[in-house]
Amino acid sequence: MLFTSISFLYYFLPIVLIIYFIMPNKYRNFILFISSMFFYFYGEPKYIILMLLEIFIAYIGAIIIDKTKNKTIFIFTILIHVLLLCFFKYTDFLITNINSIFKTNINLLRISLPIGISFYTFQIISYVVDVYRGKVSVQKSFIRLATYVSLFPQLIAGPIVRYETIEEELKTRSHNFENFAEGARRFTIGLAKKVLIANILGELCTNFDSSSKSIIFYWLFSISYMLQIYFDFSAYSDMAIGLGRIFGFHFLENFNYPYISKSITEFWRRWHISLSSWFKDYVYIPLGGNRVGKIKLLRNILIVWLLTGFWHGASWNFIVWGLMFGIILIIEKLWFNKYLEKLPNILKRIYVLFIVMISFIIFRADNLSEAFKIINGLFGFNKDVFINEITIYNLKNYFVVILIAILAATPILKNLIIKLKKNKKANYLINLLEPFYIVFLLIIVTAYLIDNSYNPFLYFRF
């Protein structure tokens, strides 16, 4: 069930909200758990048992680990979850490569990927690790732990919520009009970003395969996809954070205007923050972080980014994508930063945007040869014409939404509103008009959803 579906917006969510808020506090985690189970069952019925099994293993394992501090049980518990993720996500990739290397003919298992398994597995692992480290208290209520892992606002595509972030809120949390209003506002803005920007840019990107190619169209496609994936994923995070707030949870931010970054290092502090911080705390630092010699530092960075790429998907393009960022981060860290700092800010940002654009071409492609063909097309190496009628048509049709997307990908509008709110009259007017603005956005989004069938979520495949 998509957040951007009529069934979610006008059936599932209102029913859950009504039941949730009429029930006493002590039953609200149970209501969220049952709602989350239904939400997951609606989209992936055959794998609901798998998720419940993983929650149960984490629940029992963490209790035993807390009592015994037994390292073997800790490793065994973590290993079960890692192996289950690898089995469902990477088995066919492994078989394909074995067949290719050794010229064998092993049949693929063709296992369908459980939705959200990469996200909820990482949440489970962080919980078990933090219990072992003594960073959080073990959760002795199965319903509370199951609510944390399966919480439908962020179950399918994150952000990756650490148990420590909502540990206290699972026991007791505040429900008031301020939280509800802020959550509804954040959810609606995310919904609009997804439907009115990401989806429209996605329509342009899907036209790429069937359009007559030109050099300008390669650039138009690449820039549009870079914007689409940002608005697609950040919109889902906005909606998840907003829904969490409605139910009394405060999830951490997952994006912070990454396209204004002046280095790739800064970009990854602003993009998919929950994932990069997860790898930092549970892989990079345990390996020694940057407190080791230069050779081990290089090893640690490459391991983290190899795993980051592999986490995104069972394909060589994801591995290359991850290693590409690892190598660039090494270059920046060891050699390039001292030169990068001397450049004007505009050149730093162009450098980041170009690298990120190339990286997302690799990220999107079905294989590396397709990615290199698109990259070659950017520079005219495919011998395409510079521009053609189809490109001009697409430029005319999508110019306004691309312009809006570029503006919305910066904090310009946010900073302007903050500045205006410092004036009492402007602040009063903004607060007065905001509910009408939110309702208007919801009406426009609803009309678009009824009228259009193109409505994917890019990160659902992870």
Q: What is the pLDDT of residues 275-304, one digit of tens each?
A: 999 999 999 999 998 888 888 999 999 999
**What's the confidence (pLDDT) of residue 456?**
67
Token code pair at residue 129: 């690790």
Q: In terms of pLDDT, which residue wins out, 219 or 333?
A: 219
Whether 210 has a pLDDT exceeding 60, the answer reads: no
Q: Which one is catalytic: 81, 175, 250, 312? A: 312
Token code pair at residue 205: 């990107």
- Over residues 230-250, the mean pLDDT reads 95
Longest dimension (CA), the chain: 74
Whether 139 has a pLDDT exceeding 90, the answer reads: yes
Comparing C-alpha atoms, which of 352, 80, 144, 110 is closest to residue 230?
A: 352
Whether 323 has a pLDDT exceeding 70, the answer reads: yes
Q: How far is CA 238 from the centre of its chain?
A: 10
Please give the share of the chain, as a percent, with pLDDT higher than 70. 97
Token code pair at residue 3: 């957040």
Q: Collapsing DSSP states into helix, strand and coil, what is residue 178?
A: helix
- Over residues 20-40, the mean pLDDT reads 95
229-257 burial code (b ≥16 CB/10 A, e <16): bbbbbbbbbbbbbbbbbbbbbebeebbeb
**What's the confidence (pLDDT) of residue 277?**
95
**What's the rounded Cα separation, in Å, for the pair 278 and 296?**
20
Helix (H) or strand (E) holding 431: helix 424-451
**What's the rounded Cα separation, in Å, for the pair 188 and 438?**
7
- 293-301 long-range contacts, Cβ below 8 Å, gap at least 24? 294/334, 298/330, 301/326, 301/329, 301/330, 301/333
Are 152 and 40 in contact, with CB atoms under 8 Å apart?
yes
Q: How confident is the model at residue 180 (pLDDT cuts 50, 70, 90)?
A: very high
- Classify residue 385 by its DSSP letter: B
**What's the rounded Cα separation, in Å, for the pair 448 and 461?**
24
CA atoms in the 13 A half-sphere facing the CB of 192? 18
Q: How confident is the model at residue 460 (pLDDT cuts 50, 70, 90)?
A: low
**What's the rounded Cα separation, in Å, for the pair 75 and 289?**
21
**What's the rounded Cα separation, in Å, for the pair 379 and 179?**
50
**What's the rounded Cα separation, in Å, for the pair 433 and 439?**
10
- Residue 171 to residues 143, 167, 198, 203, 248: CA-CA distances in angstroms? 11, 7, 36, 44, 11
**What's the confidence (pLDDT) of residue 220?**
94
Q: Which residue in the block uniquely carries the two structure tokens 């509370």? A: 144
133-137, 354-358, 438-442, 453-457, range with the lowest pLDDT: 453-457
**What's the rounded Cα separation, in Å, for the pair 47 and 57?**
16
Contacts of 268 by beta carbon, 8 Å cutoff, 6+ apart: 276, 325, 329
- Give the type of residue at 165: T
Whether 457 has a pLDDT exceeding 70, the answer reads: no
Is 312 assigned a catalytic role? yes
SS3 content of the chain, % helix, strand, coil (to 5): 75, 0, 25
**What's the rounded Cα separation, in Å, for the pair 95 and 111?**
12
**What's the confidence (pLDDT) of residue 211?**
56
